[in-house]
Amino acid sequence: MTAIESSAPARGTARADRAASRAENARQRIPAVELRGARMALGERVLWDGLDLRVDPGEFVAVLGPNGSGKTTLLKVLLGQRALTSGTALVNGRRTDRSVRSAVGYIPQQQAMDAELPLRARDLVGLGLDGHRLGPRLPFGAVARRRRERVDAALAAVGATGYADAPVGRLSGGEQQRLRVAQALVGDPAVLLCDEPLLSLDLANQRVVSDLIDRRRVDAATAVLFVTHEINPVLPLVDRVLYLVNGRFRIGTPEQVMTSSVLSELYGTRVDVIKVRDRLVVVGADDSGTHCDHLHEAAS
């Protein structure tokens, strides 16, 4: 047996070790994500200041607000790609830097891929395991078998086994987005960061992707931070909302935050929140941030 193959059993226990670590964190009440006095400024422009946020394992937090309010910047901080201006950001009790990437899964918004891209579906998912590493990735023996098993399990979890060997550029937008979910989950993350993952998807695929994310957080106690302009597709899943507007923010349950009085205060202008057929309609906010349904869309 080669030295590389001999490491396979240890790697095979990594998922169990991470699960045990999450269970221990839960017992010790260590949050999956914690921001303390977080401030982010771009020059003289302050995106947010004094932001305190604790996200527990298995909690689903929607991050809302107009364009430019700092939603994606927040995800970059938690991915270790950007430093806070001041304050502290922790993932699983550790300060955020590139070393926390193994604990974090990331789902970007749906984007079209070149139809001629020479990449199979399983190859895209496999990048979630080792795409961040430099140099060639040529696993063999037991290591290769273990890697394939993890990729196959992730594909099966999102219902993508049937097109595992298909070129990704030939798949539909909904199929591609399933693969991005699988790519984010293949590393067994403790935290799942979602950056507009439902954008450009039809209603049926929005439900599929939302349900896949929710199933993961329920089954594995994975914390979810879900950046979106539109809360309605995930409203039944959301535990709390972080709403960012022009340097101000509010945190609470959807019932506490998505009200006329709270949004009017955040936007500094009259905003009405109306419930139509179990959907929230926001009227009067800046339309440049398409975070809300227009009334005729919600009523249709």
Going along the chain from its start, the domains and CATH numbers come out as 3-258 (3.40.50.300), 261-300 (no CATH)
Mean pLDDT for the chain? 83
CA distances from 139 to 131, 145, 155 (A): 13, 9, 19
CA 202 to chain centre: 19
Which of 1-10, 87-96, 221-230 has the weakest average pLDDT?
1-10
- Contact partners, residue 24, CB within 8 Å, separation at least 6: none
| Of 127, 128, 40, 32, the residue nearest 76 (C-alpha) | 40
Report the distance separating Cα 150 and Cα 154, nearest Å.
Answer: 6
Report the distance separating Cα 161 and Cα 177, nearest Å.
Answer: 14
Looking at residue 9, what is its pLDDT? 40
Mean pLDDT of 257-281: 92
CA distances from 165 to 80, 109, 120, 154 (A): 32, 22, 5, 14
Place of tokens 């992730």: 154
Pairing of strands 33-42, 45-55: antiparallel
Pairing of strands 86-91, 248-252: unpaired
Tell me if 279 sits within 8 A of 299, measured CB to CB. Answer: no
Tokens of 90: 């922790």
Which of 102-111, 161-170, 257-266, 286-295 has the weakest average pLDDT?
286-295
Task: List phi, psi (to 5°) of 82.
Answer: -145, 140
Map residue 134 onto helix, strand or coil. Answer: coil
Report the distance separating Cα 38 and Cα 117, nearest Å.
Answer: 40
Report the distance separating Cα 253 and Cα 239, nearest Å.
Answer: 6
| Of 278, 279, 275, 250, the residue nearest 263 (C-alpha) | 250
Tokens of 263: 């949004």
What's the pTM? 0.81
Mean pLDDT of 52-67: 96
**Sign of the dihedral through C-alpha 23, 26, 30, 32:** positive
Place of tokens 């059993």: 9
Tokens of 139: 């696993």
CA distances from 206 to 132, 201, 202, 268, 285 (A): 28, 6, 6, 32, 24
Task: Output 24 or 30, whichever has higher pLDDT.
Answer: 30
Tell me if 35 sits within 8 A of 251, measured CB to CB. Answer: no
Mean pLDDT of 280-292: 62
- Contact partners, residue 239, CB within 8 Å, separation at least 6: 59, 60, 61, 253
Looking at residue 6, what is its pLDDT? 32
Sorting pLDDT into bands at 50, 70 and 90, what band is 147?
confident
* Residue 94 reports pLDDT greater than 60: yes
